[in-house]
């Protein structure tokens, strides 16, 4: 079993498709189905809602999650019906990922806090064990990681209303390989890219950018708390090494999101919470643009309207509960569901990004140590999901269908304390 680590400027970080976007940020949140818009629990709270840091006090949190997605593609009825390329293609040559997190928060005065949350925002990774002939002559794959460093300020406007704002400073790292079929020279009948020398096997490239995240939390009474949040698109510098792959000459911004949440203290021991979040993948042409239909309409890879992954905007619904069993042990559980981003007609390009999972079950606990610090755990299982192609491989590629399959498991551990 291969184990991979990548060193980033601030952390060791690896992440894959939708790992954080739907599962939440911070081990405590992850154990409750990813809820967090109205229920801040640690110094990672700004990732879900910047206003949350106004309610957690002086605090430090460290965490790490082991993440293991299992990805597979099945090709059927390929090569003009001859089935020459049919078969199962395993994308798990790299399958174990480590996702660290860090949060720090300080109460400046009774109404103002300042903190920083550092976390993996998302990404995608596939690493095929053999060549996929529809794409190229060597094993294909992509490796995209996204890191957010979010300095955050909050202000308690009234005793029951808190607002917060984060400056999202983002870093991305990307590599693509095994896509030689899209590198035909300019001017040839087979040309599919505006910059065929910057499509594949160029090593890692880096991208930097920024965006804004704002939020509100209102405590209606001792029982009910509401929250709302909006995160702008994060505008990133271009991947110059892959300007012939991504639309708009290598542009790969991070999409905007918004959401609402509610937390209810049903009993002194039991808290239940729910979030609804919208992720606007169509904000980003490299993600939202349709793939082969754009290509055959004359929009080459790398152009303004060039092919993307064809992802739809999605809605994630998250439910969670925590139960204070006693003064030292809190138990957590949750569930979340997201709508399907990948169309059946778009599975060919999504061989590289088969983020098809929709349903997640989560469990976890926090144990208070004798020195009053906390040790928290989480487990997430994303149930196996498939998207079977329908008209997914055009006749120009030999016809047939590409079927995608994925499931995921992760285990997190975090240590935190009040300052």
Identify the segments of the chain with pLDDT beneath 50. Answer: 1-18
Q: What is the pLDDT of residue 22?
A: 62
The answer to whether the CB of 146 falls within 8 A of the CB of 209 is no
Q: Which residues contact 273 (CB under 8 A, 6 or more apart)?
A: 32, 35, 38, 39, 261, 262, 263, 264, 319, 320, 321
- Write out the two tokens for 298: 């004359």
> How many alpha carbons lie under 13 Å from residue 125 in its C-beta half-sphere?
28
Give Cβ neighbours of residue 191 (< 8 Å, ≥ 6 apart): 184, 185, 300
**pLDDT for res 124:** 80
Global pTM reads 0.92
- Give the per-residue pLDDT at 123: 72
pLDDT at 20: 54
DSSP string for residues in 122-141: EEEEEE-SS--TTT-SS--E
Cβ count near 134 (within 10 Å): 20
């Amino acid at each position: 079993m291969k184990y991979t680590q990548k060193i980033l400027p601030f952390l060791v970080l690896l992440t894959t498709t939708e790992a954080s976007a739907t599962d939440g940020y911070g081990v405590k949140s992850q154990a409750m189905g990813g809820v967090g818009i109205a229920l801040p629990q640690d110094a990672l709270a700004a990732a879900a809602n910047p206003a949350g840091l106004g309610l957690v006090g002086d605090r430090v949190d460290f965490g790490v999650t082991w993440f293991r997605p299992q990805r597979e593609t099945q090709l059927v009825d390929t090569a003009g019906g001859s089935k020459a390329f049919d078969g199962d293609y395993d994308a798990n040559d790299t399958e174990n990922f480590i996702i660290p997190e860090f949060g720090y928060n300080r109460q400046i005065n009774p109404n103002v806090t300042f903190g920083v949350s550092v976390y993996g925002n998302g990404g995608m990774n596939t690493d095929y064990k053999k060549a996929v002939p529809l794409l190229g002559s060597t094993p294909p794959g992509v490796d995209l990681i996204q890191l957010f460093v979010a300095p955050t300020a909050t202000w308690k406007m009234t005793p029951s209303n808190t607002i917060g704002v984060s400056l999202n400073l983002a870093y991305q790292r990307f590599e693509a390989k095994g896509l030689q079929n899209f590198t035909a020279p300019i001017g040839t009948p087979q040309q599919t890219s505006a910059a065929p020398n910057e499509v594949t096997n160029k090593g890692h490239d880096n991208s930097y950018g920024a965006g804004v995240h704002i939020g509100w939390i209102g405590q209606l009474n001792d029982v009910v708390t509401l929250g709302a949040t909006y995160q702008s698109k994060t505008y990133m510098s271009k991947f110059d090494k892959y300007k012939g792959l991504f639309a708009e000459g290598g542009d790969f911004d991070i999409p905007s999101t918004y959401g609402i949440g509610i937390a209810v203290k049903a009993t002194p021991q039991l808290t239940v919470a729910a979030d609804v979040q919208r992720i606007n993948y169509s904000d980003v042409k490299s993600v939202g643009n349709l793939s082969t239909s754009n290509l055959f309409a004359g929009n080459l890879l790398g152009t303004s309207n060039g092919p993307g992954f064809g992802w739809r905007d999605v809605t994630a619904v998250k439910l969670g509960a925590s139960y204070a069993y006693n003064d030292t042990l809190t138990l957590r559980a949750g569930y979340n569901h997201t709508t399907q981003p990948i169309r059946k007609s778009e599975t060919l390009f999504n061989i590289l990004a088969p983020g098809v999972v929709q349903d997640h079950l989560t469990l976890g606990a926090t144990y208070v140590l004798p020195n009053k610090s906390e040790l928290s755990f989480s487990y997430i299982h994303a149930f196996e999901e498939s998207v079977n192609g329908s008209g997914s491989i055009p006749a120009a590629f030999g016809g047939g269908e590409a079927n995608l399959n994925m499931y995921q498991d992760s285990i997190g551990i975090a240590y935190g304390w009040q300052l």
